[in-house]
Structure 1
C-alpha cells in the first residue's frame, strides 16, 4: 500500500493540501477531508480509501462552487443543480452537495419562491400567471407554486392592476377610449393578470374624453384615414371607407360624420 510521505498546504488556496505518496504528488484535498480521514505523514492508504477521499473532496468542491453561485443572489434547487452539472460534476456528487446546502439553510425552495413573488410584485408589478411562469423556469414544483401564489391576494392584484391601468390611461389621452381599453387589457395580460382582475381594474378608469381631446383624436385618426383613402377612392366610396376606418378606431359616428362633412367642404372650397 502507498504511504503518505508528505503533506503540504497550497499557496493559492490555504484550505487545500497536497498529498504525496511514496515521495510523489498524488492528489489534493480540502482541509475538511484531511481532518475527516485523519490523514497524517506515514499513514498507509488503500485504493478504496483514496477513492472515498476523492469523492468526498468532489462534494466539497461542488459545495463551495454552489456557495459562490449563491453569493450573488438567492437561487432555486433546480438552478444550483443545473449550474453544478454544467460545471462537470457528477449527479451523485451534485445531490450530496445539495443535501449539505439544504441542511445548512443555504437552499430552500419555499423561501426562494416567496422572495421571488415579492420581488416580481414590488419591482415589476406582475400578475400571478407571469410569476407562475417564472417559478416554473426556476424548477419550482407545482404544489409549491400554488402554495406561494395563494399569498398573492385578489385585493392586492386589483390594486396593482388598477394603478397600472390609470397610469396608462393618463399617458394615452390621444387615442380613443376603445383603443385605450384594448391597449390596457393587452398590457395587463402580458403582466400576467386574469381577465376578471383586468375587468375590475378597467372599471376604475375614466375613459371619457373632453371636446378638445376628441378634436386631437379626429385630427390624427381622421386625417390619416382621409389621405389613405383619397388616393384610391372618391365620393360615396371614399366616405364609406373613411367612416369604417374611423369607426373601427372607436370614434363616435356623429363625430365621424362631422369630420367627413368638414373635409368635403374644404375640398369643395378648393375647387
Structure 2
C-alpha cells in the first residue's frame, strides 16, 4: 500500500504543501485540504483515498486559476468555462468550480449583465439591440438578457439617442436629419424614439 513519506511546505506559495508518496512527488494541496483530508506522514493510502486526494488537488488548481482570471475583471459563467478549457483544465473539475464560484458570488451573470448595460448606456450610448448582441457574445443566457433589458426605461434610450445625436451633429454630414435618422436606426434604436429626440434638435432639413 502507498504511504505518505513527506508533507513539505511550498517555498513560493504560503499555505500550500507538496505531498510525497513513497518518496515521489504526488500532488500539491492547501493547508485546508491537508486538514480536511486528515493527511499525515506515515499514513497508508488506499487507491480510493489517493483518487480523492488527486481530485481535491485538481479542483483546487482549477479554482485558483479561475480566481486569477477574475483579477482582470468580472466574467460570465460561459467566459470562465471557455477560459479554463483553453487552459487545459478538465471539465470534470471545471463544473464543480463554476458552481462554487457562483455560490460565492464571484460569478453572477445577472449582476454582470446589469452592470454592463448601465456602463454601456452611460459611456457608449448603446441601443437595446446592440446591448443584446454584446451580452450574447459574453455567453449570457437569453432569459437573463431579456430580463435585464426589459428593465431599461424608454427614458434611458432617449438619453442615449440624445447624447449620440448631439455628438454626431458636430460632423457636417450628420447635420442633415435624414442621414442622422438613418445612422441612429442602424444602431438599433427604434424609429419612435429617434423621431422623438430628433424633433427637439435643429436640422436644416427638419422632416418630422
Report the TM-score when normalising by structure 2: 0.90
- Aligned position for 2:82: 82
Greater RCO, 1 or 2 (C-alpha within 8 Å, sep 6+):
2
Structure 1: gaps (5+ residues):
210-271
- Aligned position for 2:43: 43
User: Which is helix-richer, 1 or 2?
Assistant: 1
Q: Which structure 2 residues correspond to residues 80-229 of structure 1 after superposition, within 5 A?
A: 80-169=80-169, 171-173=170-172, 175=173, 180-208=176-204
Q: In the alignment, is the contact (CA less than 8 A) between 2:63 and 2:97 conserved in 1?
A: yes
For 2:183 and 2:59, locate their aligned partners in 1 and report how far apart those are by CA, in whole Å: 46
User: How many equivalent residue pairs?
Assistant: 205
For 2:192 and 2:30, locate their aligned partners in 1 and report how far apart those are by CA, in whole Å: 57
Q: In the alignment, is the contact (CA less than 8 A) between 2:120 and 2:126 conserved in 1?
A: yes
Deviations 1:94-130 (A, max 9, x none): 1110111111111111111101011110111111111
Structure 2: gaps (5+ residues):
none
- Aligned position for 1:228: none
Q: In the alignment, is the contact (CA less than 8 A) between 1:127 and 1:157 conserved in 2?
A: yes
From the superposition, tell whether residues 182 and 58 of structure 1 become closer, same or farther in structure 2 (CA, over 3 Å).
farther
Partner SS, residue 29 of structure 1:
strand
Larger radius of gyration: 1
- Measure how far apart 1:91 and its partner are: 1.2
Backbone CA RMSD of aligned residues: 1.9
Runs of 4+ that moved beyond 4 A: none
Report the TM-score when normalising by structure 1: 0.70
Partner SS, residue 63 of structure 1:
helix
Q: In the alignment, is the contact (CA less than 8 A) between 2:77 and 2:108 conserved in 1?
A: yes
- Measure how far apart 1:190 and its partner are: 4.5
Q: In the alignment, is the contact (CA less than 8 A) between 1:131 and 1:192 conserved in 2?
A: no
Partner SS, residue 93 of structure 1:
helix
